[in-house]
């Protein structure tokens, strides 16, 4: 149990370190002075400042999360307009790229993990033959006498090899008696006449397939395609989920740090591939969440920088600092709420 929790903490912390590293490398690329790169929170256990570097790298007592400190970003700091190493003294484009660097790093990490998984250990769900795993109670399949373990080999006069072909032959048969041929224990039974129920826009008989997983290696082109497209599709799904939460005015389904650690720990117990699966999903979610146009998030900072880019005027620093402070308080409240729910649950 302890090992699983440590694995979960390591996984989440790794993704946050990647995020902060994105900010760090972008800032350094534009000559900004990064004073601190911290892994973890609380008292410092180990620290090191390389010779000739402005950055102190440190590991803290609570090795969870991470942060970087870029000179001039703190509203309380006094800004010397002649100091070229300060964040506010750089061009608006340099500041935009620096802020965007964190979410970009998370998307890049997710894409790289997907690419290498696709190249060396891509899992494919196989439902051939169309073996029945479960049957819905009271469904047409149950009423007709089908049983788990039966293999559907034909429907409506057409051969059925997998669940997609079963769906295809059943889709337009809602309310219409349809003949299905089934094998049981290696023997082909007499045909079953089943009338599928109409479920939305398609007919269903109420069965789920046995799903087997095969591990394969994809060609480099297909691996690259998945590495680019899948994070985009995950983001669309996440946005749909966020919009649903807003419409329902609820935080049900929102997971805090404790919940994420539990989730990563559970997947880590199942093996390296499920562990990478959840890291990819959380990395995309972390990148997307930080891009949301909300105060205190990277997306909130990008909104102010966008205003500056369009109007060629900097927003009032005190107003911007106040907006971000309110945003931080709100986010901390939400995090506390969902964390309490995760712990109690």
The DSSP output letter for 55 is: P
Least confident window among 122-126, 258-262, 297-301, 316-320: 258-262
Same-domain pairing of 143 and 65? no
Q: Give mean pLDDT, residues 256-285.
A: 89
Q: Is the pLDDT of residue 345 over 60?
A: no
Within a domain: residue 243? no
Residues 180 and 264 in one domain: no
**pLDDT at res. 245:** 76
Residue 251's pLDDT is 66
- Quick one: 33 and 106 in the same domain? yes
Residue 314 lies in a domain: yes
Give the contacts of 74 (CB within 8 A, at least 6 positions apart).
none
Query: Would you say residue 64 lies in a domain?
Result: yes
pLDDT value, residue 344: 65
Cα distance between residue 247 and residue 12, in whole Å: 29
* Distance, CA of 180 to CA of 189 (rounded, Å): 10
88 and 158: one domain? no
Do the domain assignments include residue 227? no
Lookup: tokens for 280: 């990819």
Contact 98, 301 (CB under 8 A): no
How far the first Cα of the chain sits from its last, in Å, is: 17
Residue 235, in any domain of the structure: no
Question: Are both 172 and 273 inside the same structural domain?
Answer: no
**Average pLDDT of the chain, as a whole number:** 91
Catalytic residue annotation: 20
Q: With cut-offs at 50, 70 and 90, classify the pLDDT of residue 339.
A: confident
Residue 324: inside a domain, yes or no?
no
| 49/101 same-domain check | yes
**C-alpha R_g of the chain:** 27
Residue 134: give the domain boundaries: 126-214
CATH assignment at residue 153: 2.30.42.10
Residue 52: pLDDT over 60: yes
Give tens-digit pLDDT for 98-124. Answer: 999 999 999 999 999 999 999 999 999
Write the CA distances from 201 to 35, 162, 204, 207, 213, integer angstroms.
Answer: 59, 21, 10, 17, 29
Find the range with the poorest average confidence among 17-31, 55-69, 84-98, 321-335: 321-335
Residue-level pLDDT at 248: 77
Give mean pLDDT, residues 40-69.
Answer: 91
- Residue 296 has a pLDDT of 86
Residue 345 lies in a domain: no
Q: What are phi and psi of 35, to 5 degrees?
A: -85, -25
Tens digit of each residue's pLDDT (9 = 90 or more) over 225-236 = 999 999 999 999
Task: Indicate the number of domains in the chain.
Answer: 2
Query: Mean pLDDT throughout 210-215?
Result: 92
Residue 201 has pLDDT above 60, yes or no: yes
Residue 329 lies in a domain: no
- d(CA 180, CA 159) in angstroms, rounded, equals 10
Higher pLDDT: 76 or 303? It is 303
Angle at 175 between CA 169 and CA 178, to 5 degrees: 45
- Asked which of 214, 242, 277 is the last residue of a domain, the reply is 214
């Amino acid at each position: 149990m302890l090992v699983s929790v440590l694995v979960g903490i390591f996984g989440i912390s790794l993704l946050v370190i990647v995020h902060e590293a994105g900010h760090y490398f972008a800032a350094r690329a534009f000559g900004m002075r990064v004073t601190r790169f911290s892994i973890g929170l609380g008292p410092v256990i180990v620290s090191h400042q390389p010779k000739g570097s402005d950055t102190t790298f440190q590991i803290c007592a609570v090795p969870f999360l991470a942060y970087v400190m870029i000179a001039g970003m703190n509203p309380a700091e006094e800004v010397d307009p002649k100091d070229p190493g300060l964040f506010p003294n750089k061009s608006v484009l340099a500041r935009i790229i620096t802020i965007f660097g964190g979410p970009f790093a998370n998307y890049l990490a997710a894409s790289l993990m997907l690419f290498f998984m696709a190249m060396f250990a891509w899992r494919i769900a196989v439902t051939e033959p169309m073996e029945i795993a479960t049957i819905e109670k009271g469904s047409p399949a149950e009423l007709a006498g089908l049983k788990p373990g039966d293999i559907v080999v034909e429907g409506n006069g057409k051969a059925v090899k997998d669940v997609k072909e079963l769906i295809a032959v059943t889709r337009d048969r809602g309310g219409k008696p349809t003949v299905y041929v089934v094998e049981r224990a290696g023997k082909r039974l007499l045909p079953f006449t089943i009338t599928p129920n109409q479920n939305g826009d398609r007919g269903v008989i109420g069965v789920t397939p046995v799903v087997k997983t095969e591990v394969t290696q994809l060609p480099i082109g297909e691996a690259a395609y998945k590495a680019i497209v899948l994070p985009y599709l995950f983001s669309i799904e996440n946005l749909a989920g966020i919009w649903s939460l807003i419409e329902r005015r609820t935080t049900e389904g929102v997971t805090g740090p404790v919940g994420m650690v539990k989730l990563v720990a559970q997947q880590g117990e199942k093996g390296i591939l499920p562990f990478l699966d959840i890291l990819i999903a959380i990395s995309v979610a972390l990148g997307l969440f930080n891009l949301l146009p909300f105060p205190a998030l990277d997306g909130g900072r990008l909104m102010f920088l966008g205003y500056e880019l369009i109007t060629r005027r900097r927003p009032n620093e005190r107003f911007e600092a106040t907006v971000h402070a309110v945003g931080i308080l709100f986010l901390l409240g939400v995090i506390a709420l969902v964390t309490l729910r995760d712990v109690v649950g």
